[in-house]
Chains A and B, each alone.
Chain A
């Protein structure tokens, strides 16, 4: 599936939260969206998800304007992980992951069953096997986050949108989520992730740096994540050095002594 955004603006109360963004994403692309608070990252993701409608410009999935797609068609085209996960839920982990299969369900079936494989695969990919029967309300923040990611993966869509997928996770599980995005890329999904950790963004194929709603830079991690543009956009001195242990770069925000 090809996902295109052409000259997309989102204006609310005469403030442009997203301005003049154009993207062209092909299957297998893994894109990190970075930028300071209020740069319009989440708004851009909501626009790409069809959750918000652009004030100007258009977004298409496989050539079809997404404003013409039904809620169910959207749900089989893109999965969307929001920033906040509901906490006080009496459903268990497996039941919540099964919710990712809703759009494929036949309304006459009493319980999910035929979709077991996608659900089980998603649960295993996020290391939730031992927690399947645990209620969401009894989980830690990170476990809830992993459950939500598993639900998003179980939705099994060509486009996967993740808003800060790693924020609540420990280092080991952050790496696990990166591995999951890589395997999604290998199976020809488009992954767009909003990230705060700039070093995590270096693990993506493509980085979009947003500032005040506009694209400040776009390209490979090495092209976009350089000291000058980051220092300017984040209004804070940031050093970028070659990674000492492996190929690639390391982003180091400077700390005042």
Chain B
């Protein structure tokens, strides 16, 4: 009995999600330090001659890369949240809470310090990716040895330590090449450029695709490591591979938007009841959901207090923090 009705339902949800993402991105192009009319954006999109060339310049060189960066960043955060929750067998697992983001941030900070301001951020991405992957592999052992709560506490402890070292490094180096410390605490897409977007995307997309391919194996982990191995998923070899790939995705995304929490926690939680628990479905769903969430949050970040910017992570934490608290309280009741 193939379930055609649920397949159709999924198709509708995915189609709807993509349409919503397109609408949100279109809307995000309109708002900013100065407002651009929808007509201008449409004319610019279809290559028509926009009356105001300043608007055209803003769209091409500032707003479009930023909105695309927000979408890519959000899809990375969302999908990585799903993968970590599956791998760690806990709905509380998340790149931010487990310390992956801070580790990647530390790597990125060092990389930024040796990279000229207008260059392609190849070195920051490389350093962040290595730091993220190394952190994932070296802490993966906690997965089976510690309970969910201890795991999160360990992640928070590592995260704070790495954040502190990053802060010390950023403040001591005090270089215009390195983003402000705030970037490594609450993130921001204000520095988004075509160059950064290109480097991050080239690294992110293959890694996310590889994680998606491991989807059916990640499904098996709900039964336990031993059962997953019995069914043919080589946990001893593939778990380190998966967490390293997570580190790669987190590393590349950190260079784009810094350290931002809660997206990887909230988005999968909201989507699971809709699209079900299978990773092959949930990973792309969370990528779309994460993109929508971050494009919206980033639009708020740059318009609420315009002309000054609010760090992106403040908005995601303001919404996601209470949500996490609620999740924990609810968990203790059952």
Contacts and interface: CB of A to CB of B under 8 A. Distances in A.
Nearest to A50: B230
A91 B227 CA distance: 15
Interface stretch (A54-62, A100-108, A224-232): A100-108
B224 A111 contact: no
A82 B226 contact: yes
A193 interface: no
Given A86-B222, A90-B277, A70 B230 contact: no
B195 interface: no
14 contacts: A51-B229, A71-B229, A74-B232, A75-B232, A85-B223, A86-B222, A86-B223, A86-B224, A90-B222, A99-B223, A102-B233, A108-B213, A110-B280, A112-B216
Interface string A95-131: 1100110110101101111001000100000000000
A239 interface: no
Nearest to A75: B232
Interface in A43-91: 49, 51, 70-72, 74-76, 79-80, 82, 85-86, 89-91
Nearest to B222: A89
Nearest to B234: A71
A132 interface: yes
A155 interface: yes
B177 interface: no
Contacts of B222: 86, 89-91
A89 B86 CA distance: 11
Nearest to B272: A90
Closest 5 pairs between A and B when the two form their complex, measured CB to CB: A75-B232, A103-B232, A71-B234, A90-B277, A72-B232
B220 interface: yes
Contact of B232 (A71, A86, A90, A108): A71
Contacts of A75: 230-232
Interface of A: 49, 51, 70-72, 74-76, 79-80, 82, 85-86, 89-91, 94-96, 99-100, 102-103, 105, 107-108, 110-113, 116, 120, 132, 151, 155
B219 interface: yes
A74 to B, nearest CB: 7
Given A102-B216, A105-B216, A82 B232 contact: no
B231 A113 contact: no
B143 interface: no
A198 B299 CA distance: 69
A111 B280 contact: yes
A105 B214 CA distance: 11
Q: For chain B, which range describes its interface: under 10, 10 to 19, 20 to 34, or 35 or more residues?
A: 20 to 34
Interface of B: 1-2, 7, 213, 216-217, 219-220, 222-224, 226-227, 229-234, 237, 272, 276-278, 280-281
Given A74-B232, A79-B230, A111-B281, 18 more contacts: A71-B234, A71-B237, A82-B230, A86-B223, A86-B227, A90-B222, A91-B219, A91-B222, A91-B278, A94-B1, A95-B219, A95-B278, A96-B223, A99-B223, A102-B217, A102-B232, A107-B216, A151-B231
Contacts of A51: 226, 229-230
Given A89-B223, A91-B219, A91-B277, A99 B230 contact: no
Contacts of B216: 102, 105, 107, 112
B231 A155 contact: yes
A165 B217 CA distance: 25
A146 to B, nearest CB: 15
Given A99-B223, A105-B216, A116 B2 contact: yes
Contacts of A155: 231
Contacts of B231: 75, 99-100, 102-103, 151, 155
A65 B188 CA distance: 56
A181 to B, nearest CB: 19
Contacts of A71: 229, 232-234, 237
A45 to B, nearest CB: 11
B91 to A, nearest CB: 10
Nearest to B237: A71
A142 to B, nearest CB: 18
A63 to B, nearest CB: 21
Contacts of A100: 231
A83 to B, nearest CB: 11
A155 B217 CA distance: 15
Contacts of B217: 102
B232 A111 contact: no
Nearest to A113: B2
Residue in A71, A90, A155 whose Cβ sees the most chain B Cβ within 10 Å: A71
